[in-house]
Amino acid sequence: MYSILIVDDEIEIREGLAARLSRENLGLTALYTAADGDEGLAIVEKEKPDLVITDIKMNRMSGLELIRQAREKGLFIRTIVISGYDDFDLVREALLLGAADYLLKPIQTAELLKVIRRTLDQIRVEWNDMELQQRLKGELRLALPRSRAETLTELIESPYQSFKEISFSSRLAALELSWLNKDSMALLVFEVDDLNIVAEQRGTPELEKRLILFGIGNVVQQTWEEMFPGRFVLYPSANDRWVLIGECGGDEDRERVAALALESIKRVNLYVKVNISIAISPGIGLLPLLPQLYREALALLEQKAVYGGNRLLQDHELEAEAELPEIALQDSAAMMDVIRYGSEQELKEALSRFDLLVLIWKKGPISDVQQGLFGWLMDLFQKARGLGWKGEDWLRNPILLWEQLERYNTLESLQSKTEALLLQLSREVKEQTGSQNQILKEADAYMRKRFNCNLSLTTVASEVHVTPVWLSKLFKKEMNRTFLEHLTDIRIEKAKEMLGDVKYRVYHISQEVGYRDPVHFAKIFRKYTGLSPMDFRQLKGVDDE
């Protein structure tokens, strides 16, 4: 259990002590001897004994020098020194260097054994304390991430309440997150694209989901530890997401955060072999703003349904709208938008992917395809009736539709018949329901009313009862601009109006027109007007002092 080294230049003393200690029940696993300090230091370096018993005065290296050099090498050993009556100054120095005890010559064996047992007991207590500390540290390492996740979830995913500030401050300090109380931060939300589908394809869904999320957490943590110069914390959030909060003091820091987010996507693709989307909060802020930053990041994350996944979603990048995905025929809501607002050519183009619709149904014989098509068409007719369509023959007597479909026994003929039915439905719906211009008017009115909120294409599309894909198409087709270009125009016009009033500060105007980050607002304003907000105000003759 213990190992002891005896260092003495008198062979009789050295060997006599060794023989006596070996007979005692001290629990020794090794017993070494050395004739001087040089030899003893070599054994200490190699074997690292638990206890060294050494004479202070020896011919070559002294016991005192042995202790000193061992400490200099970082070898903090327990020592008992043996000295004569006239060596007290040396003994005192040895004790200052950490010697556990001392004995005076001539050595009394009983006294030596008593001192040795007492020292070994101290060593055992220290070992037990160290073992306990290591165990507690291990438990803390396991508990810390979970405690951080629980605290940050409570802090961020519910409205900020000032009366809890003191409580949160002490909890953050205990979790080594005091910096959250001091610094401006950016917030990112990480979400696996089609997690449930990917997990099902790989095997046992719940197990695969946990493995995928665990892998993403490891990759992102390592990436940011390697490359991010500031402090950050990463924790698992609700709905199988990860949330990262990092120090962010301004534009340069934000660009670094965005670059690291892109690197995270690349590494997750490579090592975890899944696609992942990351949303960065449009603004930055201190602790009280974190709930708002979180909501804004989640709103941006929703945009991957329109712009596609496996990408970085941040407010200013969405101003240049990406190509929208093709209409999915199995999405009856999207198909109704084509029927209501699309041209005949657009409807035909959508139906050109009819074979993909059949593959999604996973139908075999042509009778199964006919049945799938019958259900799909009846769903569209029901939705058309909900919009005010009056041609209800198919709905009153569905057998008529089934008898027509039964007459066609090839995929091509069924596609042709479906196209004819939907072109007729489209013409009748357009005659009997509101126009697409009315949809744009409603969208425009809603955007002008709520322009200072965190508006998204998805939010406005839901308000006017169309799909985000089709609302975007309507903006491009009818107004020759994107949704975000139109929203930005509304915001900039309102900003111009407010800049003419000296009672508004620029940072206040930024908030009022929907931009949480004044620096980002200034960039957008200059892009659209060619002037900074301050220059525009001075051009209007407004004194901002």
Q: Quick: pLDDT tens for 28-84.
A: 888 888 888 888 889 888 888 888 888 888 878 888 788 888 888 888 778 888 877
Q: Tell me the per-residue pLDDT of 478-522, one tens digit each, with 9 for 90 and over.
A: 788 888 888 888 998 888 888 888 788 888 888 888 887 777 788
The secondary structure of residue 178, as a DSSP letter, is G
Highest mean pLDDT among 59-68, 228-237, 373-382, 383-392: 228-237
Structure tokens of 136?
A: 């507690």
pLDDT of residue 19 exceeding 60: yes
CATH classification of 157-319, choosing from 2.60.40.60, 3.30.420.10, 3.30.70.270, 1.10.645.10?
A: 3.30.70.270
Higher pLDDT, 433 or 246: 246
Q: Is 53 helix (H, G, I), strand (E, B) or coil?
A: strand
**Which CATH superfamily includes the segment(s) 2-127?**
Response regulator (3.40.50.2300)
Each as own residue / partner, the long-range contacts of residues 402-411 (CB below 8 Å, 24 or more positions apart, any chain) are 402/370, 402/374, 405/370, 405/373, 405/374, 406/370, 408/370, 409/366, 410/366, 411/354, 411/355, 411/358, 411/366, 411/369
Q: What is the CA radius of gyration of the chain?
A: 38
Tell me what pLDDT residue 160 has: 59
Reported as a single tens digit per residue, the pLDDT across 225-281 is: 999 989 999 999 878 899 999 998 877 788 889 889 999 999 999 999 998 999 998
Q: Indicate the pLDDT class of residue 322, thresholds 50, 70 and 90.
A: very low
Max intra-chain CA distance, the chain: 121
| pLDDT of 302 above 80 | no
pLDDT value at 219 more than 90: yes
The pLDDT value recorded for residue 310 is 85
Mean pLDDT of the chain: 80
Q: How would you class 283 by CB atoms within 10 Å of its CB: exposed for 0-12, middle for 13-18, buried for 19 or more? A: buried
The percent of residues above 90 in pLDDT, for the chain, comes to: 10
Give per-residue pLDDT as tens, 143-186.
677 888 888 888 887 765 655 556 677 788 888 888 888 878 99
Q: Are strands 276-280 and 185-192 parallel, antiparallel or unpaired?
A: antiparallel
Report, at the CATH architecture level, how domain 436-539 is classified: Orthogonal Bundle (1.10)
Q: Cα separation of 116 and 488, whole Å?
A: 82
Confidence label for 295 from pLDDT (cuts 50, 70 and 90): confident
Looking at residue 164, what is its pLDDT?
58
pTM exceeds 0.75, yes or no: no
Residue 140: what pLDDT? Answer: 53
What is the per-residue pLDDT for 85?
59
| 501 vs 308 pLDDT, higher one | 501
Above 70 in pLDDT, residue 323? no
311 near 304, Cβ under 8 Å? yes
Confidence grade of residue 544 (pLDDT, cut at 50, 70, 90): low
Cis ω for the linkage preceding 106 (within 30 of 0): yes
- Give the pLDDT mean for 339-368: 74
CA 5 to chain centre: 53
Please compute the mean of the pLDDT values over residues 308-317 and round it to a whole number. Answer: 73
Q: Single out the residue of 209, 168, 172 nearest to residue 191, CA to CA.
A: 209
pLDDT tens, position by position, 437-480: 777 888 888 888 888 887 778 788 888 877 777 788 788 877 88
Among the listed residues 459, 458, 465, the one whose alpha carbon sits nearest the alpha carbon of residue 336: 465
Determine what percent of the chain is predicted with pLDDT higher than 70: 87
